[in-house]
Amino acid sequence: MGQSRRTFLQSSAAAAAALALNPALSASEAAQPKGKGKSLRILILGGTGFLGPATVDAALARGHEVTIFHRGKTRPGMFKGKVTEVNGDRDPKKDPGLKALESGTWDAVIDNSGYYPRIVKASAELLASRTGQYVYISSISCYKEPSPMNGDETSPLATLADPTVETMGKQFENYGGLKALCEQAVEAAMPGRATIVRPGYIVGPDDPTGRYTFWPVRADKGGEMAIPGAPSDPIQIIDVRDLGEWLVRLCELKAFGAYNACGPAKKLSMGELVASCVKAAAKKPTLTWIPAAFIVKQEGVEFPIWAPFEGDTKGFHTWKNDRAIKTGLRFRPVEQTAKDTLAWFKTQEGVEKGRTRLAGPTAEVEAKLLEAWKASQAKPKA
């Protein structure tokens, strides 16, 4: 199949029961700017990648004190003079491990760099007595496949035959189960004080995966543009800046439990997403929609963030986000995300290695796909 969840995970290289949920806060409570004016001490495990900087920026903008723990290898010094930086390794078996975190207290910890339960367990247990809240960034992929239609936070989680495995697998088949086990490790270390955030596709400026970025960049090139599926197919994305701001709000509110961080607030269609990218483009492409049934039969054709609205992936972009919205998650217009992402991408050539990489079909693959589709639609001669 062309774009299964596992294929998405491989190309992005990236629990028996659901967590018990606290009652959601009312919309009126969430609307209050609680926490602003009261400085929190926030520790971020990882902070220089993609979601990390967006979270740091949001926390600093709201007057909080930020400490980031990282290896010092990815964009070192990007927050020099603005945050407290401590270096180490998430894996306690690798020197210097977590030694830098053996002292200090924080109001909240935001863990956006934990992928293996042993490693997440180590940091959660070490910090449990010195923080009031542990926010773990999981993934929508933590749920058992296939994704249900309109699933919520009580949907069954993925499991692994071997819970001690510490490899994602050749097809990233272990990713979801590992994320579910990481969630359980946090809850076990800090029962009742864990916040589990399950994003889908995180998009926007500074994204190194090139998944969503493919769409506004491709639209900007003009010409005939192949679009998979149908305009009505659902799609869910969340701008990294909206996610970062909301993570800080969760700390301010001391909101615990599990939350699906998928957006936007109202259903978004593939047609609307593509239209937002076309609007941002300097050259306006012509669009050729190609049905999912045809796409999935083509070898070597992968369209990022899209999933066929049929079969095992029919429910993948239909997750409910009511709980997150009630705790203040807000979404900027998709047109703004497309415009900002394209503008950012155009500033990156030669600036930072790796951040101009794009997922999705090459021009040659797209041209062959369009040719094959048109040939399949040609009427046979009488």
Joined together, the tokens standing for residue 23 give 């009652």
Please say whether the beta carbons of 289 and 231 come within 8 A: yes
Residue 245: inside a domain: yes
What was the pLDDT predicted at 25? 30
Please say whether the beta carbons of 105 and 165 come within 8 A: no
What was the pLDDT predicted at 378? 87
What was the pLDDT predicted at 74? 83
Position 349 confidence tier, pLDDT thresholds 50, 70, 90:
confident
Joined together, the tokens standing for residue 308 give 């066929």
Tell how strand 268-269 and strand 234-235 pair up: antiparallel
Please say whether the beta carbons of 276 and 337 come within 8 A: yes
What residues make up the domain containing 67?
5-373
Residue 160: inside a domain: yes
207: closest CA among 359, 366, 8?
359
Residue 93: Cβ-neighbour burial (10 angstroms; 0-12, 13-18, 19+):
exposed
186: closest CA among 147, 240, 133?
133
Split into its structural domains, the chain has a count of 1
Could you give the CA distance from residue 239 to residue 331 in angstroms, rounded to a whole number?
A: 7
Could you give the CA distance from residue 298 to residue 52 in angstroms, rounded to a whole number?
A: 37
What was the pLDDT predicted at 315? 97
| Number of other CB atoms surrounding residue 13 within 10 Å | 8
Could you give the CA distance from residue 52 to residue 294 in angstroms, rounded to a whole number?
A: 38
Cα distances from 208 to residues 102, 165, 214, 246, 343, in angstroms, run 32, 27, 11, 21, 15
Map tokens 């807000």 to a residue: 330
Position 382 confidence tier, pLDDT thresholds 50, 70, 90:
low
Residue 367: inside a domain: yes
Residue 304: Cβ-neighbour burial (10 angstroms; 0-12, 13-18, 19+):
buried
**Span 257-274, average pLDDT:** 97
Please say whether the beta carbons of 256 and 22 come within 8 A: yes
Is the pLDDT confidence value at 377 over 70? yes
Position 1 confidence tier, pLDDT thresholds 50, 70, 90:
very low
The CATH number linked to 234 is 3.40.50.720
Q: What is the pLDDT of residues 96-107, one digit of tens each?
A: 999 999 999 999
Q: What is the pLDDT of residues 15-31, one digit of tens each?
A: 222 222 222 333 333 33
What was the pLDDT predicted at 22? 29
Residue 92: Cβ-neighbour burial (10 angstroms; 0-12, 13-18, 19+):
middle
* Least confident segment among 46-50, 131-135, 186-190: 46-50
Q: How far apart are the first and last CA of the chain?
A: 34
| This prediction's pTM | 0.90
Residue 269: inside a domain: yes
Could you give the CA distance from residue 41 to residue 18 in angstroms, rounded to a whole number?
A: 30
Q: What is the DSSP string of 73-133?
A: -SSTTTTTTTSEEEE--SSTTSTTTTGGGSS--BSEEEE-S--SHHHHHHHHHHHGGGBS-
**Span 28-43, average pLDDT:** 61
**Span 298-308, average pLDDT:** 96
Q: What is the pLDDT of residues 203-258, one digit of tens each?
A: 999 999 999 999 999 999 999 999 999 999 999 999 999 999 999 999 999 999 99
Residue 379: inside a domain: no
Residue 206: inside a domain: yes
Q: Which helix (H) or strand (E) holds 199?
A: strand 194-199
20: closest CA among 327, 323, 330, 329?
323
**Span 358-374, average pLDDT:** 97
Position 381 confidence tier, pLDDT thresholds 50, 70, 90:
low
Cα distances from 45 to residues 123, 134, 147, 216, 339, in angstroms, run 9, 11, 29, 31, 30
Position 37 confidence tier, pLDDT thresholds 50, 70, 90:
low
DSSP letter assigned to residue 305: S
Share of the chain above pLDDT 70, in %: 90
Please say whether the beta carbons of 97 and 91 come within 8 A: yes
Q: What is the pLDDT of residues 151-191, one digit of tens each?
A: 999 999 999 999 999 999 988 999 999 999 999 999 999 99
What was the pLDDT predicted at 151? 97
Residue 378: inside a domain: no
Residue 380: inside a domain: no
Could you give the CA distance from residue 230 to residue 41 in angstroms, rounded to a whole number?
A: 47
What was the pLDDT predicted at 353? 72
Share the mean pLDDT of the chain: 90
Identify the three-state secondary structure at position 323: helix
Q: What is the pLDDT of residues 169-178, one digit of tens each?
A: 988 999 999 9
What was the pLDDT predicted at 75? 84
What was the pLDDT predicted at 73? 83
What was the pLDDT predicted at 72? 86
